[in-house]
Structures are given as C-alpha cells and as structure tokens.
Amino acid sequence: MTLLDFWPALLGGLLIGGASVLLLGGIGRIAGISGITFALLDRPNWNGANLWRVAFVVGLLAAGWSWSHWSGQPMAPNREANWPLLALGGLVVGWGTSLGSGCTSGHGVCGLGRLSLRSLAAVATFMATGALTVFVMRHVLVA
C-alpha cells in the first residue's frame, strides 16, 4: 500500500472540513447532518428558509453518486441486507443522535474544530461505544 492509496480519504476529509468551515463562516450554521435532516423533516418550510439544508443534503447524495459513477467503484458492497435489522439500526442511530444532541459530523468535525468540551465528551463516547460494539460482535457473540 502506498501513500497514493490514501488520496480519496484525504481529499474527502479536506472537502468535509472545507465545507463545514464555509457553512459556519458563511451562514453561521453547524454542518451536523442529523440536525440538518431533522430540521428539514420537523419544519418543512419551503419559502427559502430551508433552501441551504436541501442543497446540503442534495450535495451529500450527489457527491456519493458522482464518486461511484466516475471512479467505477460501487457505492456499497454487494451483499444481502437484513432490511428489518438495517431499519432498526437506523432508528437507534436517530434516537442516539437526538439523545446526544448531535451526530458524529456535528460533534466530531465541527465541535472538535471549535474546541467544544461537550463535543469532545460526545466523540469519546461514540468511539468507546463503537469499540465495545466491535468487541462484543467479534468476541462475545461469535457464531
């Protein structure tokens, strides 16, 4: 593996960081995906107040599609999905972002960039929970 193998991740990180700085500096908003999406669903105001949120979500979807289309790489691995389990996981993640007052993008990218202690605690909790989940899935619930 060479350094050039990491350029997509580096470019993606730079784009995410740059977009969050532009959003915060341009209109004073945090680039937290769950907050943006919840606001769209909670307050479907189409008189222009939510236009930036719609543009942000469309941009996220278009970026994923564009990368897949032009790189020739699939958007997701080809595997059979357990749709009820995926739906349950999505609901739990949504509940967790509500409980934690934000998601990994809001706390991890924007909050840590603003040196927020609350975001540092949230990111530490995300990471510890993720590590514990991987440990349990691989070493405790082994089939």
Q: Write the pLDDT tens digit of every residue in 13-54.
A: 888 888 888 888 898 888 888 888 888 887 766 667 788 888
Name 121's Cβ contacts closer than 8 Å, sequence gap at least 6.
Answer: none
Q: Write the pLDDT tens digit of every residue in 112-127.
A: 888 889 999 989 998 9
pTM of the model: 0.69
Mean pLDDT to the nearest integer, 69-84: 73
State the DSSP string of 34-93: HHHHHHHHH---TTTTTHHHHHHHHHHHHHHHHHHHHH---SS------HHHHHHHHHHH
